[in-house]
Every structure is written in C-alpha cells, then in structure tokens.
Amino acid sequence: MDSQNTQSEQTEFRYIDGRRFHNVETSMYHLPNDDNETNRLHLQHFLIRYLYQSNFSAPVNQILSKPGAKVLDVGCGAASWSFDIATTYPLAKVIGLDISPYQSTMIKPKNFEFVKGNVQERLPFDDNTFDFVFQRYLLFGITKEKWPHVVNELVRVLRPGGFLELCEPSGPFEAGPITKRFWDCESEILEERGCDFDLYQKIEEYARNQGQLENNKKESKRCYYGTVYNNVEFNKAVLNNLNYAYASLKPILSKKLQVSDEEYDELAKISEKESVEHNTYYHIVRVYASKVI
C-alpha cells in the first residue's frame, strides 16, 4: 500500500479492538465496516430477500425496467441491495450513498455508482432526481430528532410519482434472559446516542406526516431464530447472522456489559441456544409511499 492510500485509510477509518470503523464524528453508527461485517451485511441482505421473497415491496418493477430509471440506496453499506438491484435492472442507474466507501470494486455492476454523503446533513443531489429511494436498517445511524429531516431529504430528491421505501427491524421478542440482557444493553447505547430502538414502529408515522407522500403502505414479517421454517439452511443462516451481529457489537457491548472477551463470547453462545429454545423472533417492517404528483 502506498503512502497516499495509507493516509487515506487512516483518515477514512479508525480501529477498535482489531475491528475497523468509520471515522465520521457526526455519525451515530457504531457497527464496524470491515470484511467480517461486510460478510454479515451480505448475509443479512439475502435473509431479508428470502423472507419477503423480494428486494422491495413498493410497486416499482415496471419503473425500474425502463431505460434511464434512477435508484438511490441511502446507507448502502456493503452495497448488497444496490448490487442486486443493479444486476436485476441493467437499464437503471443505481447510486449507493454511505458515510464510508467500503463497497467491493471487484464485483461492482457497471450501472452502480458510489457517492459519499451523510443523510443526517443534506443529500448531494438535486430535487426530483430519483424514481425510487430506498433506505434500510439505519436505526443505528440516525438520531430520533433527525428522522423528520431525513425523510424530508429522501422525499426532496424523489421525483413526483416516484416511490420511497423504508425498512427497519425490531428488537427480539420471546427472548431468554441473556438475549434480553444483550439487547437491553444495546437499547441503552442507542438511547445514549440519541437513536431510537423502536424505530420500526415509527417509520410509517414519519412517512405519513411528511406531507408530500400518498398511498402509504406497511408490511411486516417475523424472522425467527428457531426452527419455525421448514428450511434448515435458512434457520442456520438466521443464527449465523445473529452470531455475526454479536461479534460486530462486541467492542461496544462488552464494555457496556463490563465483561471480558471470554465472558462475552460465552454469553453469546448462551443467547444463541436461548433463541432457538424460545423461538425468539424479531419484526422486519417495510413502509412505502409515492410522492404526490
């Protein structure tokens, strides 16, 4: 690695306990953005797609099939969703926006472009630019007070007649004591940072109150950690995603829980076992609406 790339790496990222994180002081997002987290995000993407049997709920298939359609993926992360959409709809232009550029360049579709930006500030796009604006799993990255502003920004860059879709998860239900301990701790961390652990219950209201959206729809599905599904591989993938998540949260949660690395790893194993025994589940909520013409 040359000195220029090394300096860019040091400026762009910071390291905690061997994990790489973004280096944006104004962002609340506290998950890593290294290779292990990238693998988890790819896995998470395919879990959601399998559960919903689709990449989105908004009726935009026909729109995205037309030449010149423009799609914005806000908080694109590893760009799993963006790459999937760009591959499925080769006539569309897909832009992924994130605070950190860590998307793979080896498998990047030709019709995908990355733009660095922070939706809590202002999106670097003109009004009425995109046919479809998509945002998923940013409960860790956006403060409660900023959400009305964020939704306004998403709608501002959306073309009249275009669709906005938001997707957020809940915390676990029917959880055992160790699992509850983990997620109560995560909820406290989010509250301290000004974020909202119950965001999945609020996104429909944010969309409805925005003022320029109509035909609001909400869909919700349960994702179980147990053996509810008649699909062994899917069950295994859900648990793998849980374990990846615990590993990604370890630098933050272990300090908050005041436990050693070894104790944390043992608690994570107990939580995995609990989640199967209790048929623990969480909600994945999608809300979509069209911009008034």
CA angle at residue 233 from 228 to 235, to 5 degrees? 30
Q: Can you point out the beta strands (E) in the chain? A: 13-16, 19-22, 70-74, 93-98, 112-116, 130-136, 158-169, 213-224, 281-291
Report pLDDT for 2. Answer: 35
Half-sphere exposure of 52 (CA within 13 A, CB side): 19
CA atoms of 172 and 116, how far apart (whole Å): 32
Report pLDDT for 248. Answer: 84
Give the dihedral sign, CA 223/78/46/162.
positive
Helix (H, G, I), strand (E, B) or coil at 6: helix
Nearest to 171 by CA among 197, 192, 153: 197
Nearest to 220 by CA among 244, 239, 203, 238: 203
The answer to whether the CB of 134 falls within 8 A of the CB of 73 is yes
Domains of the chain by start residue, with CATH: 2-291 (3.40.50.150)
Report pLDDT for 31. Answer: 67
Helix residue ranges, H only, 65-146:
80-88
Nearest to 93 by CA among 126, 68, 74: 68
CA atoms of 146 and 85, how far apart (whole Å): 28
Q: Tens-of-pLDDT digits for all 293 residues of the chain?
A: 333 333 345 567 777 666 667 666 665 566 667 777 778 888 999 999 999 999 999 999 999 999 999 999 999 988 999 999 999 999 999 999 998 776 777 789 999 999 999 888 899 999 999 999 999 999 888 999 999 999 999 999 999 999 999 999 999 999 999 999 999 999 998 898 888 989 999 999 999 999 999 999 999 999 999 777 778 888 888 999 999 889 888 888 999 999 999 999 999 999 999 999 999 999 999 999 999 99
